[in-house]
Amino acid sequence: MVDGVPAPAAPDEIPVDYRFLLANERTFLAWMRTALALIAGGLALDQFVRVEHAEGLVVAIAIIVVAAGAVVAIVGTYRWSKTETAMRKGTPLARTPVLIVVGTLFAILAVLVTGIIVVS
C-alpha cells in the first residue's frame, strides 16, 4: 500500500475482503498455538512424568506428542497457504480429511495419557 492506495493485485487474483484474509490468518495462528501446546506438553511429559515400570512408554508418548506438534504446524501452514491461494484466485476451497485425522489422533492420545494416569 502506497499513500493509502492498495497495491494492484496480480493478474490472476481477484480482490478479497480483508476480513476473510485476517480470519484465515487467525485460523493459522490457532494451528500454531495447538502445535506449540503439543510440543510443550510432550516436553513436560518427558521431563516431569515418572511412572514405575513404564518409563519407556512415557518417553514414547512424549516423542509422539512432540512429533504431532510438528505435524500440526506443517498442516496448519499448508492449509493457510492453500486457503489464501484459493481466496485470491476465487476458486473453491478443497475438502480435506485432515481435521478428522487430527481429531482422531488427539482422542487416541487422550486415551494413552489417561492410561498413564491410571497406571501411576
pLDDT tens figures, 20-42:
999 999 999 999 999 999 999 99
Summarize pLDDT for 61-117 with one digit per residue, the tens.
Answer: 899 999 999 999 999 999 999 999 999 999 998 888 988 988 898 899 889 878 877
pLDDT value at residue 76:
95
By the 8 A CB rule, do 76 and 39 touch? no
Residue-level pLDDT at 104: 92
Residue 65's nearest CA partner among 11, 26, 109, 108 is 109
pLDDT over 90 (residue 49)? no
Q: Sign of the CA dihedral 69, 75, 79, 81?
A: positive
The mean predicted confidence, pLDDT, of the chain is 87
Give this prediction's pTM.
Answer: 0.79
